[in-house]
Structure 1
Amino acid sequence: MIKEWNLLRVIACLSIVFLHSTTQTGNLTGYPNNELYELLRILLCYATPTFIILSEMILANRYPDQLPDQFWQKRLKWIYVPFLVFAVIDAIIVKQLYSNIDLQKKLLDNIFLGSYEGYFILIVLQFYVLHYFVIRFNIPIRILIPISFIVMGIHLYLLHTNIPFVQEYKAELKLPFTAWFGYFTIAFLIGRHYKFFSKTLFKYRWYTILGLLSSIYIVYFSYKSGIVGVNSRRFDLIPLTFSISLAVMAWGQLIPNLRIVNLISKYSFGIYLVHWQVQRYIAPYTVEWFNHTITQVLGLFVITLLITFILIYLISLLPFGAYIVGNTKKHNYRRKKKMNLTSTSKYKTRLKHL
């Protein structure tokens, strides 16, 4: 795996756990009336679309022209089955915590509508299908990019309207890939031509800092304008998500290949699935053990990570553990030599088709 992609995955993973630490703490003690705290929660929402971007960048980098044999079988086993398992686990835990919940309805909602924290997996699976169609029919990415952002813009706009149908099914309407379409096309472009982009990003890495600061200001301006919703479907998170991703890919090339980063990256899928359930049980204790919001959040964040790591490790030792927390074995993402774009001529050939 490309080391800066591992770093990006780790930063996004930890951001999600930290965001949910603020959510679980806030659910129990109330959210502090603090502008910086509220803005931080909004900024952390970049993490989910970043995971979605990473999934497509990896796919486009590894399989730019065709999908290999067993592709769908492996994704169903190591990604979709864990999604189903935690859909069941989440429903059982919710029923145990809130006795008035209809277990059957919650279970069906989790499985078919992604009505729990693993919903992003359904979006990633749609990206896999979309990737197949793009390479199968050789759809020019230069045409797809503007279309994708127009479609995505319309979808996000509708999600922010007061149309009764939209309000009633808002949770379900975040699932279609059209709400995330622009992320797909840019990720496809970067992943397919990553050697070119990585060199360019490194050369102009200081500009990525400028882009990052500008995108943070856009979020701040939106927040001051009264747009205070904490979710990943905000318009202002689009430039933030891309600017963070580009900055990490640029500056991450300077960071050595650290074992701790690789370890967290390897466990990231499991962390995403497990941490929310752990926090449901741990949060009541951390709000009692610590006196201030920041220490309550940090305490929940650290303890959640420790317990989650232990659980994933123990589960992965089981013969069927990969069907619960995903495949945590070391992957070799190096592409075959015949697919590796090492020459300038190949880059030029590919870039002509953009």
Structure 2
Amino acid sequence: MNQTKTIKELYVLRSIACLSVVFLHAIGIGLSSIPTSQISHTAYVFWDSLNMLLYFSTPVFIFISEFLLAYSYRNKRIPSNFLKKRAKFLLVPFLFMAFFYAIPYATPLSEGVKKFLLNAVIGDYHGYFVLIIFQFYFLHLLSHKLFKKINPKIGLSISLFINVAYLSFFHFIDPLNIPFNNYIWERFYWIPFFGWFFYFTLGFYCGHYYESFIKLLVKYKVIILSAPIFTSAVLLFFYHSNLLMVHSSKRVDILLHATFVMFFIYYIAYHMKKIPTVFLTVSKYSFGIYLLHFFFILAFDYFYGFFSIKLGVSYIFILFFFSTSSSMATTFYVNKWRFGNYLVGQLPQKVKEQIEQNQDIKASNL
């Protein structure tokens, strides 16, 4: 198997997922700021529905992370500095941002310390997915040999059952009479890897059996291209009929929706001869955008929220473009400092060369 085969599709997938995260947060903050007199009920339902559909984005990062691991190391040993390298450029920025997002709570100081510990230890801010990624890093190191021995159909079925059972427990069972029960049911259940296990397994088998995965995409292209319409309809039906009111990426029905949206984007990207520069650029800055965008959305809304009165739904787009561009600019300039990559994440040089040359990126360089 050729370990240097181009995996350009992942850059398209990552950039779209990154922008979707920013857009869904822009919609959420925007809808809360726009006066009801400036938006009709129909328009509100439309934007709220679109927000729900964009929740496919967070699972994409789990899928991509494991896809690359399974693909890149399917014929060679994982290097000894694997965790150290990722802790340096993922975990350290995560901890810095945990501190950064705790600053507004630092009056009194004890509350700031408490918020930082909550952010850093149990992911009490939007960067929580880094903690999930690291759980899967450990899981991959401990179980990748076992996964190779298991039939993919069986492995995927078991992981899907575990994932559905876990999420269903927190969706449909009232909080137990235990300490911190409300917090666990409202947020902390996001952190244990069981809530994302299916995406990890899917990423592993798609990466490890890459050639077979591509053949299946092509073979079932009609299903791949049409399924997102069906999953979107199901998702919105459950949501608007009040059968499942959870407003997050941790819904049970998101499992199906996220999977087919990922496959849809992957299929489209697979037929691209070259990666458009915009996807490469956003992919390059994706970690910085993910970490910083929420700050810029909140900051703009705090200082200029009065614009929502006149702009209406256009305010959502302003929040989106301002937070995305500001996050990219901040990441760019902070990385010029010697230790900047420990604060906002590292900008991969290989992607920089790719943008300049507009050539394909090799997975071995990731």
TM range (shorter): 0.7 to 0.9
Q: Match of 1:334?
A: 362
> 2:174 matched to 1:162?
yes
**What is the deviation of 1:187?**
1.1
**What is the deviation of 1:204?**
3.6
Give ranges in structure 2 of 5+ residues lacking alignment.
1-5, 352-360
> 2:40 matched to 1:28?
no
**What is the deviation of 1:274?**
0.7
Q: Match of 2:55?
A: 45
Alignment of 1:106-125 (within 5 A): 106-125=115-134
Asked whether the equivalents of residues 315 and 325 of structure 1 are also in contact (C-alpha less than 8 Å), the reply is: yes
Q: Match of 1:60?
A: 70
Alignment of 1:1-354 (within 5 A): 2-29=7-34, 33=41, 34-64=44-74, 66-95=77-106, 102-137=111-146, 139-142=149-152, 143-160=154-171, 161-164=173-176, 165=178, 166-170=181-185, 171-226=187-242, 227-255=244-272, 256-290=274-308, 291-331=310-350, 334=362
Is 304-313 or 225-234 further displaced after alignment?
Answer: 225-234
Q: Distance in 1 between matches of 2:105 and 2:321?
A: 23
**What is the deviation of 1:185?**
0.8
**What is the deviation of 1:44?**
1.0
State the Cα deviation string for residues 87-142 of structure 1 (Å, max 9, x = none).
Answer: 0111013447xx79811110110110110010001001111111112224455253
Is 235-244 or 57-66 further displaced after alignment?
Answer: 57-66
Is 106-115 or 323-332 further displaced after alignment?
Answer: 323-332
Asked whether the equivalents of residues 202 and 251 of structure 1 are also in contact (C-alpha less than 8 Å), the reply is: no
State the Cα deviation string for residues 124-181 of structure 1 (Å, max 9, x = none).
Answer: 1111111112224455253432222222122101211212344342222210001111
Asked whether the equivalents of residues 141 and 189 of structure 1 are also in contact (C-alpha less than 8 Å), the reply is: no
Asked whether the equivalents of residues 93 and 343 of structure 2 are also in contact (C-alpha less than 8 Å), the reply is: yes
Q: Distance in 2 between matches of 1:294 and 1:139?
A: 52
Give ranges in structure 1 of 5+ residues lacking alignment.
337-354
Q: Distance in 2 between matches of 1:248 and 1:303?
A: 25
**What is the deviation of 1:287?**
3.1
Q: Which residue type is aligned with residue 306 of structure 1?
A: S
Which secondary structure does the structure 1 equivalent of 2:285 belong to?
helix
Distance 1:136 1:200, change over 3 A: closer
Distance 1:270 1:243, change over 3 A: same
Which secondary structure does the structure 2 equivalent of 1:217 belong to?
helix
Q: Distance in 2 between matches of 1:21 and 1:101?
A: 31
State the Cα deviation string for residues 247-292 of structure 1 (Å, max 9, x = none).
Answer: 1111112222122211110110110001111111112345323424
Which secondary structure does the structure 1 equivalent of 2:204 belong to?
helix
**What is the deviation of 1:235?**
1.0
Q: Which residue type is aligned with residue 250 of structure 1?
A: Y
Asked whether the equivalents of residues 28 and 284 of structure 1 are also in contact (C-alpha less than 8 Å), the reply is: no
Q: Distance in 2 between matches of 1:303 and 1:286?
A: 12
Distance 1:29 1:127, change over 3 A: same
Q: Which residue type is aligned with residue 85 of structure 2?
A: K
Asked whether the equivalents of residues 286 and 296 of structure 1 are also in contact (C-alpha less than 8 Å), the reply is: no
Asked whether the equivalents of residues 123 and 175 of structure 1 are also in contact (C-alpha less than 8 Å), the reply is: yes
Asked whether the equivalents of residues 53 and 187 of structure 1 are also in contact (C-alpha less than 8 Å), the reply is: yes
Asked whether the equivalents of residues 88 and 107 of structure 1 are also in contact (C-alpha less than 8 Å), the reply is: yes
Asked whether the equivalents of residues 102 and 116 of structure 2 are also in contact (C-alpha less than 8 Å), the reply is: yes
The TM-score, its normalising length taken from structure 2, stands at 0.85
